Structure 1
């Protein structure tokens, strides 16, 4: 018994004759008769009674079997719709994990643009530390991850995604706010809000101050860039941040200036290596790249070499 035989059976039941069923299915009558005969053989009982010169007779067994077939066909149509929705990306799930620097300032606008085009897809975004993001991807729990660089890990594919030159962030009215460029030396003695010690960029910032003979006074250490922006706006101190996160706070009065020497913030794209990338994830990555290219044009991030 196969799907084609069942479709032929349904057509005969609905049309009441072999000839009309053949027209509905765009088949020859012998092909329809053969399909019904094969189905009867597979089932072990008669479906139709063929009497010369009389209308096709439907057996009680065929009536009972027809009810079950129709019910099964409802399920098949549901499967066809599900497959169509998956193919057209009008349904599905996408799990993304990102460090807060991009989970708060970069991904929300990408998600908005993506859902404008694919509103039926449920996007699940989790914001955690880079170490947690990498572990989730290694465990194959998420399809897309954005985090800082790390050593190679089993179960993960890693590629550069975004680089940007660090900027100095100042509270409104700060004495350095009128300068076009802030140097490491300019921050000597300033109250400074630093990234946490485990952040790889923290070490580059510390080395820049040491090379300039500058000694800012660290008053707060925190791992999240958005927390630093909030602290700077409160006048707690100044800091060096990625301009992507900082730019989101300019509307609240945050002053953002280029910083010298150049300190790069680098973010990597992580994907699970033990499972293929879904169509939905691939499409979302296209939106991410398009957003990044616009940011390159605006000067917020630098092009990947």
Structure 2
């Protein structure tokens, strides 16, 4: 028994005759008759009684067998529909992880834009540290991730996704908020909230102040820029963070000012090294790129 024989049997049951079944499958009538005969031999069932004029009359066994065939074809049609949905992004599932600096505002905007075009695609967003994101990509626990540059994880490869300016953040009403640009000497002896010691951006900022010969009151450090913003809002100090994160807090009372000399904060896209990206993941990354370009263009407009 094979699928061609089942197709022929089903076509005859639905169409009611060999002639119409042949038209339905776009084959000859003798081919339909031969396939039916082969099916009867392989199943040892009498499926049709030949009436005058060559018309086939389904037997009770044929009716019972047809019900089982329809159950199978229903499942097969669901698989075909699933394949069509996946091909056309009618459904699917994408797994993403990124550091909190991008998970607060940027990635939610990307998801909103992506789902406007692909509303049936499910998205799982995990917020993790950069080292965890890199590890998860290498272990293929996620489709891709966004993280700060760092040691490459086995099984993952990376490329620069965005280079974003660092800005000085302070609460509304702070004396420095009147200045258009903040410089190292403006922060002399002021309470300063730092990123964690292992953070690459922390190293760059500390080097800059050391070279400028400026001392800050650095009594607080924390792992995430979003936490820094919370501390700034509570008046615990000021800081320098990514423009990505600062924008998410401006409507909550954070004031962001350009910092000179420039500090740039990089974000990398991490993808599995030995597994190609799915079409859905590729499309999501394309939307991410569009949102990034819109963000950077808006920043240039503000500066102009």
Please give the TM-score of this superposition, normalised by the length of structure 2.
0.94
Task: Give the root-mean-square deviation of aligned CA atoms.
Answer: 1.6
Deviation string 1:89-113 (CA, Å, 9 cap, x unpaired) is 1211111000000111210100111
Alignment partner of 2:175: what SS?
coil
Equivalences for residues 1-305 of structure 1 within 5 A: 1-53=1-53, 55-299=55-299
Distance 2:299 2:195 in 1: 23
Name segments (4+ residues, structure 1) moved above 3 Å.
51-55
CA contact under 8 A between 1:46 and 1:59: conserved in structure 2? yes
Q: When the two structures are aligned, how many residues end up with a matched partner?
A: 301
Q: CA deviation at 1:51?
A: 4.1
Q: CA deviation at 1:72?
A: 0.5
Structure 2, gaps ≥5 residues long? none
Distance 1:51 1:174 in 2: 97
Q: CA deviation at 1:169?
A: 0.6
Q: CA deviation at 1:276?
A: 2.0
Alignment partner of 1:260: what SS?
coil
Deviation string 1:54-82 (CA, Å, 9 cap, x unpaired) is 64232333222112101101101111111
Alignment partner of 2:174: what SS?
coil
Structure 1, gaps ≥5 residues long? none
Distance 1:169 1:300 in 2: 19
Distance 1:10 1:206 in 2: 76
Please give the TM-score of this superposition, normalised by the length of structure 1.
0.94
CA contact under 8 A between 1:170 and 1:256: conserved in structure 2? yes
Distance 2:21 2:49 in 1: 16
Distance 1:86 1:300 in 2: 38
Distance 1:54 1:271, change over 3 A: closer
Q: CA deviation at 1:235?
A: 1.4
CA contact under 8 A between 1:209 and 1:215: conserved in structure 2? yes
CA contact under 8 A between 2:134 and 2:152: conserved in structure 1? no
Alignment partner of 1:215: what SS?
coil
